[in-house]
Structure 1
């Protein structure tokens, strides 16, 4: 949907925005295991309109010892049978990494981005560029743009904008498309109200620095000489 606000920051106009969402299983005592990922890549035009340049979606087969429960299926509609022939997370994330290399420079966009950042970091060995890419968190942007709202969940923001919940809500691509639309509205509303005018402003307010980047920075620091 077009946003009727001109956004002139050259870095924003030169950047691809890749909205990402994972569906996951949450085994007790373990890190979440992804069962689906989707990405929609869009570019912002100087007249405030958006252009989709790519999309990616894939089911992901979890480890054999992580079952898909009835609760999981009720939440997402994804069944164990659907995942039987899917590729593992390492193969899917490596494939996504290669696809996104054609859209550099890009920044990731996600709702509750630290969660997505953690899932990507778990596979940093197979997607090192993706794992070092900054994320913009639409939850943090929404808290700045819409402080009057009691909550800033994706459903809350859809209701705030009188947008219908997408068919297939809680599947990765419908959630990505909803998040992309909310992000476009956030960018326009926040710019109109003076919260940001550049990509750097948004990164300062809502950027999530990947753990791999923090680890790289820590490793690059000069080590203090031993006192003994």
Structure 2
């Protein structure tokens, strides 16, 4: 893996959203964080990071359950920028000509949130993902479950006090991902980027073929 050109040319962007789940609507982002990593000269190097609160729309207020989970309150988000502004700014950080993969724990969650905001982040919406859950199942078989907290305990990574905030979750997800890649490289289980994608890749929803209607009424 450490000598595979495609892997070395790819920026891995660890991504995490916090969201509300309004009835009758898809989840709405209220916080996002991203951490870009490159593997160079035998070690990981940070290539950039960003983090922002996001003001949810009126139909998706922050509930007591959301506050209990991540500590975010309606008052904190009242003056935050809207999704269009935050995700457009994040989208502009992805440069033309650079190969990217997004990395997330249970990547379907992030994939869905990005897809529903794709008009604000068209570049981000077309970047495929690596899911750390199937990667961990492949490389660390036999755990009771593959929740993020379980993997933190397995790798002796301290659980952050602000767990379930986007920036904190990105940091620890990145640490888990790096441990998994190191294990794959050391054990020779995954040889190249193509093998990594086969095990843990997820196609961005914007890249999936649109189902055609069989009949036009």
Q: TM-score, normalised by structure 2?
A: 0.93
**Paired position in structure 1 for 2:10:** 15
Are the counterparts in 2 of residues 21 and 175 from structure 1 also a CA contact under 8 Å? yes
1:90-114 residue CA offsets vs partner (Å, 9 max, x unmatched)? 2211110001227821110000001
16, 19, 28: which is aligned to 2:23? 28
Are the counterparts in 2 of residues 39 and 55 from structure 1 also a CA contact under 8 Å? yes
Count of paired positions: 215
**Paired position in structure 1 for 2:196:** 202
Secondary structure at the residue paired with 1:166?
A: coil
**Paired position in structure 1 for 2:112:** 118
**Paired position in structure 1 for 2:131:** 137
Q: Unaligned stretches of 5+ in structure 1? A: 1-5
RMSD across aligned C-alpha pairs, in angstroms?
Answer: 1.9
Q: Are 2:103 and 1:109 aligned?
A: yes
Are the counterparts in 2 of residues 13 and 46 from structure 1 also a CA contact under 8 Å? no
Secondary structure at the residue paired with 2:111?
A: helix
Are the counterparts in 1 of residues 132 and 177 from structure 2 also a CA contact under 8 Å? yes
Q: TM-score, normalised by structure 1?
A: 0.89
Counterparts of 1:1-228 in structure 2, within 5 Å, are 7-47=2-42, 49-101=43-95, 104-215=98-209
Q: Would you identify which runs of 4 or more consecutive aligned residues in structure 1 move more than 4 Å?
A: none
- In structure 1, distance between residues paired with 2:123 and 2:29: 19
Q: Unaligned stretches of 5+ in structure 2? A: none
- In structure 1, distance between residues paired with 2:145 and 2:97: 33
- In structure 2, distance between residues paired with 1:54 and 1:123: 22
- In structure 2, distance between residues paired with 1:196 and 1:45: 18
